[in-house]
Amino acid sequence: MPVSSTQRLFFTLTLQPTLARNIVHWRNQTFDVQRPARPTPATQLHLTLAFLGDTRPAQRDSLCRIAERLQNQPFSLTLDNLGHWPKAGIIWLGPRDSPRPLLALASALRAAAVRCGLPQPATPFSPHITLFRRAHHPLILPSQTPGWSVSFSHFSLYCSELTPRGSRYTELQRWSLGAPHAV
Ligand code: 2AM
Protein backbone atom coordinates (compact mmCIF):
# COMPACT_ATOMS: atom_id res chain seq x y z
CA MET A 1 0.00 0.00 0.00
CA PRO A 2 1.52 3.39 -0.92
CA VAL A 3 2.60 5.59 1.98
CA SER A 4 0.29 8.36 0.73
CA SER A 5 -2.77 6.33 1.71
CA THR A 6 -1.80 6.47 5.36
CA GLN A 7 -2.87 9.25 7.71
CA ARG A 8 -0.92 10.56 10.70
CA LEU A 9 -3.44 10.12 13.50
CA PHE A 10 -3.80 10.65 17.24
CA PHE A 11 -6.50 10.32 19.88
CA THR A 12 -6.94 13.48 21.86
CA LEU A 13 -8.98 15.57 24.26
CA THR A 14 -9.96 18.93 22.84
CA LEU A 15 -10.39 22.16 24.77
CA GLN A 16 -13.41 24.44 24.66
CA PRO A 17 -12.56 27.52 22.54
CA THR A 18 -13.10 29.86 25.51
CA LEU A 19 -10.67 27.92 27.67
CA ALA A 20 -8.13 27.76 24.84
CA ARG A 21 -8.36 31.55 24.39
CA ASN A 22 -7.96 32.08 28.15
CA ILE A 23 -4.87 29.88 28.21
CA VAL A 24 -3.34 31.78 25.30
CA HIS A 25 -4.15 35.13 26.92
CA TRP A 26 -2.49 34.01 30.17
CA ARG A 27 0.47 32.53 28.27
CA ASN A 28 1.05 35.76 26.36
CA GLN A 29 1.06 37.76 29.59
CA THR A 30 3.14 35.31 31.61
CA PHE A 31 5.88 33.90 29.41
CA ASP A 32 8.81 35.74 27.93
CA VAL A 33 9.90 33.08 25.49
CA GLN A 34 11.96 34.21 22.51
CA ARG A 35 12.17 32.80 19.01
CA PRO A 36 12.73 30.13 17.75
CA ALA A 37 10.22 28.93 20.36
CA ARG A 38 6.84 28.74 18.69
CA PRO A 39 3.58 29.19 20.65
CA THR A 40 0.81 26.72 19.86
CA PRO A 41 -2.19 28.55 18.34
CA ALA A 42 -5.35 28.50 20.50
CA THR A 43 -7.17 26.36 17.92
CA GLN A 44 -4.48 23.68 18.21
CA LEU A 45 -4.24 23.32 21.98
CA HIS A 46 -5.11 19.75 22.93
CA LEU A 47 -4.18 16.91 25.26
CA THR A 48 -3.01 13.85 23.36
CA LEU A 49 -4.23 10.51 24.71
CA ALA A 50 -2.39 8.25 22.26
CA PHE A 51 -0.23 9.08 19.26
CA LEU A 52 -0.80 6.60 16.45
CA GLY A 53 1.50 7.89 13.73
CA ASP A 54 1.09 6.75 10.13
CA THR A 55 -2.09 4.69 10.08
CA ARG A 56 -3.58 2.70 7.22
CA PRO A 57 -7.33 2.99 6.49
CA ALA A 58 -8.00 -0.56 7.75
CA GLN A 59 -6.17 0.20 11.01
CA ARG A 60 -8.12 3.46 11.39
CA ASP A 61 -11.40 1.61 10.87
CA SER A 62 -10.48 -1.02 13.47
CA LEU A 63 -9.51 1.70 15.94
CA CYS A 64 -12.81 3.50 15.38
CA ARG A 65 -14.73 0.28 16.03
CA ILE A 66 -12.83 -0.24 19.30
CA ALA A 67 -13.26 3.42 20.33
CA GLU A 68 -16.97 3.18 19.73
CA ARG A 69 -17.27 0.26 22.17
CA LEU A 70 -15.29 1.87 25.01
CA GLN A 71 -17.32 2.82 28.05
CA ASN A 72 -14.77 4.97 29.87
CA GLN A 73 -16.17 7.57 32.21
CA PRO A 74 -16.20 11.38 31.87
CA PHE A 75 -13.87 13.20 34.25
CA SER A 76 -12.52 16.56 35.37
CA LEU A 77 -8.97 17.63 35.98
CA THR A 78 -7.12 20.72 37.13
CA LEU A 79 -4.52 22.33 34.89
CA ASP A 80 -2.20 23.33 37.71
CA ASN A 81 1.22 22.14 36.55
CA LEU A 82 3.81 23.48 34.14
CA GLY A 83 6.85 21.74 32.73
CA HIS A 84 9.69 22.09 30.25
CA TRP A 85 11.24 19.26 28.27
CA PRO A 86 14.29 21.04 26.82
CA LYS A 87 15.39 18.12 24.63
CA ALA A 88 11.97 17.87 22.96
CA GLY A 89 11.70 21.67 23.04
CA ILE A 90 8.28 21.58 24.69
CA ILE A 91 6.81 23.80 27.39
CA TRP A 92 3.59 22.31 28.65
CA LEU A 93 0.58 22.78 30.89
CA GLY A 94 -1.00 19.78 32.59
CA PRO A 95 -2.57 18.32 35.70
CA ARG A 96 -0.45 17.74 38.81
CA ASP A 97 -2.76 14.82 39.63
CA SER A 98 -4.14 12.70 36.81
CA PRO A 99 -7.65 11.40 37.49
CA ARG A 100 -7.99 7.64 37.20
CA PRO A 101 -10.54 7.81 34.34
CA LEU A 102 -8.04 9.84 32.29
CA LEU A 103 -5.31 7.26 32.85
CA ALA A 104 -7.76 4.45 32.07
CA LEU A 105 -8.83 6.11 28.81
CA ALA A 106 -5.27 6.69 27.63
CA SER A 107 -4.36 3.15 28.59
CA ALA A 108 -7.34 1.70 26.69
CA LEU A 109 -6.48 3.71 23.58
CA ARG A 110 -2.81 2.79 23.72
CA ALA A 111 -3.80 -0.87 24.05
CA ALA A 112 -6.17 -0.51 21.08
CA ALA A 113 -3.34 0.99 19.04
CA VAL A 114 -1.05 -1.93 19.84
CA ARG A 115 -3.82 -4.40 18.92
CA CYS A 116 -4.10 -2.66 15.55
CA GLY A 117 -0.36 -2.93 14.91
CA LEU A 118 0.60 0.60 15.95
CA PRO A 119 3.37 0.31 18.56
CA GLN A 120 3.21 2.57 21.60
CA PRO A 121 6.07 4.01 23.65
CA ALA A 122 7.22 2.13 26.73
CA THR A 123 7.27 5.43 28.62
CA PRO A 124 4.27 6.12 30.86
CA PHE A 125 1.48 8.39 29.64
CA SER A 126 2.29 11.94 30.65
CA PRO A 127 -0.78 14.15 30.14
CA HIS A 128 0.16 17.58 28.81
CA ILE A 129 -0.97 20.42 26.59
CA THR A 130 1.91 21.78 24.53
CA LEU A 131 2.14 25.56 24.97
CA PHE A 132 5.38 26.10 23.02
CA ARG A 133 7.49 24.04 20.64
CA ARG A 134 11.14 24.54 19.71
CA ALA A 135 11.85 25.82 23.21
CA HIS A 136 15.23 24.18 23.75
CA HIS A 137 16.87 26.90 25.85
CA PRO A 138 16.78 26.81 29.65
CA LEU A 139 14.14 29.02 31.21
CA ILE A 140 12.47 29.73 34.51
CA LEU A 141 8.84 28.70 34.52
CA PRO A 142 6.12 30.74 36.23
CA SER A 143 5.58 29.44 39.75
CA GLN A 144 1.88 28.75 39.24
CA THR A 145 -0.99 28.58 36.75
CA PRO A 146 -4.52 29.93 37.16
CA GLY A 147 -5.44 26.29 37.93
CA TRP A 148 -8.25 25.89 35.43
CA SER A 149 -10.65 23.08 36.22
CA VAL A 150 -11.78 21.30 33.04
CA SER A 151 -14.41 18.64 32.40
CA PHE A 152 -14.14 16.21 29.51
CA SER A 153 -17.17 14.36 28.16
CA HIS A 154 -15.80 13.17 24.84
CA PHE A 155 -12.57 12.25 23.08
CA SER A 156 -11.61 12.55 19.43
CA LEU A 157 -9.56 11.07 16.63
CA TYR A 158 -7.48 13.70 14.84
CA CYS A 159 -5.45 13.75 11.67
CA SER A 160 -2.22 15.75 11.64
CA GLU A 161 -0.81 17.03 8.36
CA LEU A 162 2.70 18.41 8.33
CA THR A 163 2.91 21.62 6.32
CA PRO A 164 5.73 24.16 5.89
CA ARG A 165 3.78 26.43 8.27
CA GLY A 166 3.48 23.76 10.97
CA SER A 167 1.04 20.99 11.74
CA ARG A 168 -2.56 21.21 10.56
CA TYR A 169 -5.04 19.26 12.69
CA THR A 170 -8.46 17.98 11.58
CA GLU A 171 -10.97 16.19 13.77
CA LEU A 172 -12.12 12.98 12.05
CA GLN A 173 -14.47 11.56 14.66
CA ARG A 174 -15.47 11.98 18.28
CA TRP A 175 -17.01 9.69 20.90
CA SER A 176 -18.91 10.36 24.12
CA LEU A 177 -17.41 9.25 27.39
CA GLY A 178 -19.75 7.10 29.43
CA ALA A 179 -21.76 5.89 26.42
CA PRO A 180 -20.84 3.21 23.90
CA HIS A 181 -21.61 5.18 20.73
CA ALA A 182 -20.23 8.00 18.61
CA VAL A 183 -21.31 11.61 19.35
P1 2AM B 1 3.50 16.93 21.76
O2 2AM B 1 2.53 18.06 21.81
O3 2AM B 1 4.10 16.61 23.09
O4 2AM B 1 4.52 17.08 20.65
C5 2AM B 1 0.20 15.37 17.37
O6 2AM B 1 1.51 15.35 16.90
C7 2AM B 1 0.18 15.13 18.85
O8 2AM B 1 0.71 13.83 19.14
C9 2AM B 1 0.97 16.11 19.69
O10 2AM B 1 0.20 16.44 20.82
C11 2AM B 1 2.19 15.37 20.12
O12 2AM B 1 2.64 15.64 21.40
C13 2AM B 1 1.68 13.95 20.15
N14 2AM B 1 2.77 12.99 19.97
C15 2AM B 1 3.13 12.02 20.84
N16 2AM B 1 4.12 11.29 20.37
C17 2AM B 1 4.45 11.81 19.18
C18 2AM B 1 5.43 11.50 18.21
N19 2AM B 1 6.27 10.47 18.37
N20 2AM B 1 5.48 12.25 17.10
C21 2AM B 1 4.62 13.29 16.93
N22 2AM B 1 3.67 13.62 17.81
C23 2AM B 1 3.57 12.90 18.93
Ligand 1, atom 12, residue with closest C-alpha? 48
In terms of Cβ atoms closer than 10 Å to its own Cβ (0-12, 13-18, 19+), residue 121 is exposed
40 within ligand 1 shell (Cβ under 6 A): no
- From ligand 1's centre to the CA of 160, what distance in Å? 10
Closest CA to 167 of 7, 36, 1, 19: 7
- From ligand 1's centre to the CA of 51, what distance in Å? 6
Ligand 1, atom 14, residue with closest C-alpha? 51
| Pocket test residue of 10, 123, 170 for ligand 1, highest count of atoms within 8 A of CB | 10
Ligand 1, atom 3, residue with closest C-alpha? 130
**Predicted TM-score of the model (pTM):** 0.95
Q: How remote is the C-alpha of 88 from its chain's centroid?
A: 15
Tens-digit pLDDT profile for the chain (183 aa)?
455 599 999 999 999 999 999 999 999 999 988 888 999 999 999 999 999 999 999 999 999 999 999 999 999 999 999 999 999 999 999 999 999 999 999 999 999 999 999 999 999 999 999 999 999 998 999 999 999 999 999 999 999 999 988 899 999 999 999 965 555
Q: Is 28 helix (H, G, I), strand (E, B) or coil?
A: helix
Residue partners of 14: CB distance under 8 A and separation at least 6: 46, 156, 171
Which residues are catalytic, by number? 46, 128
